[in-house]
Structure 1
Amino acid sequence: MQDREQVMPRLSGPSGCRPSGRHERAGCESTDSWRSTNYLCFTMCMNLSEPPHPGHTLPLVSHLARAGWRALDATAQPGDITHRQLLILTLLNDRGWMAQKDIKGVFGLDASNVVGLLNELEEEGLTVRRRSSTDRRQHIVELTDRGIAVLDSTYERLAIVEDDILHPLTIDERQQLHQLLLRVMASRSPDSRPRRQADKQS
C-alpha cells in the first residue's frame, strides 16, 4: 500500500497566504495546490470552531471531491482508469446496460465527450457497445468482466485516497458522514419527490 503522503498532498491554503495562530492550529499550510479554485474553501476552514454558515457546505463537499479525483488521476499507472471513466463504469455496474444517450443525460456531458470516454473504455476492453434490438439508431453500452475487475481495483486505489482526505475523522465519524450523504442522495431520487413536497407543505 502506498504511503499516504505519496498518494496526495495535504490540503492547504493558497500560495503566499501563510496562516498563523488559530489558522495554523487548524492544520492549514501554504502550498500552490489551492491557488486556482480553492480560496473559498481555505477561508472557510479558518473558522473551524464557528457554526457552519448557510451556503458553505456544498463548496466544501465539492472541494474534497475534486481533491480526491485529482489524487486518483495523479497516481494512475498504465492500465488504470481516470475518475471520469470510473464514474461511467460505476453507473453501468449499478444499472446494468444503458443506452449511450442516457449516459450522456446522467452526467450532463457533451455528446462528443461521452463518445470519447466510451471509445477509450471499449478500446481497453472494459465495455462493449451494440445496436439496440428495438431501435437500430441507438447504441447500448454494457460492462465487461474485465471492466468489473478494473472497477474493483480502482475502488481499492480510491480507498487509499479517501483514507488520506478523511484522516482527521474517526471510523465512527466517517461512517456517520457516509450515512448522512447517503440520506441526502436518497432524497434526490425521483421516488422521494412526492415526500419532499409533502414535507414542505406540512
Structure 2
Amino acid sequence: MSSSGDGNDLKSPENMVGVMMNYILRRMQAEADKDLLPHGMKTRHAVVLTLLRDLGEQPQSELPQALGIDATGVVALLNSLEDEGLIERRRSPEDRRKHNVLITKAGRRRLADIENVAADLEQRLLGLEPTELCALHTLLAKAMINLANGSHTPLAQSTSAQ
C-alpha cells in the first residue's frame, strides 16, 4: 500500500475511510470529554442518554449490545447516571427479575445542555460549513444503515431497485 504522494491514492493508509474515521473519532472523543467535564459527564454518558431519549425505555439486558460495551461497563455507567438522577431503572412488568432503563426529565435537560457542547465541538474541530456538515451527516447515516443491514451495496442502489 504505497502512497503516490498526491493525496489521490484511495488505497494508501492515510486515505482509507476507516483510518480517517478512527482518527476523527479519537480526537473528537478526547476533546468532547474535556468539554463535558464541567457538566460532570463523559461522552459515554452522553451516548447512553441519547440512546434512551431516542429509543425510549430499554431493557437493561439489551444495552450492552446497543452500546457496544460489556455488561459490567453498562452497569457502571447506569449506576453513575442513576446516582445523578439522570436515568431510572424500573422492574420489567413482563419479568420482575429484569429491569428497564429510561431517561428522566433531569437527564433530558442535561442532554440538551451537552448537545450544544457537541455542536460547538463539531464546528470547532471539523471546521466544516453547514452544508458540508449536513452532507457528512447524510453520508455517515447512509453508511450506518448499510452496515446495520449487513449490506455492501450502496443504499441508493438497493432502494432504487425496489
Identity within the alignment, %: 30
Contact persistence 1:80–1:150 (CA under 8 A): no
RMSD: 2.6
Aligned to 1:50: 8
Aligned to 1:111: 71
1:145 and 1:120 map into 2 onto residues whose CA distance is 16
1:134 and 1:98 map into 2 onto residues whose CA distance is 13
Q: TM-score, normalised by structure 1?
A: 0.67
Aligned to 1:76: 36
Unaligned runs of 5+ in 1: 1-43
1:138 and 1:48 map into 2 onto residues whose CA distance is 56
Q: CA deviation at 1:79?
A: 3.6
Aligned to 1:175: 134
Unaligned runs of 5+ in 2: none
Find the residue that maps to 1:76 and give its secondary structure.
Answer: helix
Find the residue that maps to 2:114 and give its secondary structure.
Answer: helix
Find the residue that maps to 2:101 and give its secondary structure.
Answer: strand
User: Residues 90-129 of structure 1: matches in 2 within 5 Å?
Assistant: 90-129=50-89
Contact persistence 1:64–1:165 (CA under 8 A): no
Aligned residues: 152
Q: CA deviation at 1:116?
A: 0.4
Change (3 A) 1:135 1:48: farther
Q: Which has the larger radius of gyration?
A: 1
Q: CA deviation at 1:182?
A: 1.4
Query: Hey, which of these two has a bigger chunk of helix by percent?
Result: 2
Q: TM-score, normalised by structure 2?
A: 0.82
Q: CA deviation at 1:63?
A: 1.3
Q: CA deviation at 1:121?
A: 0.3
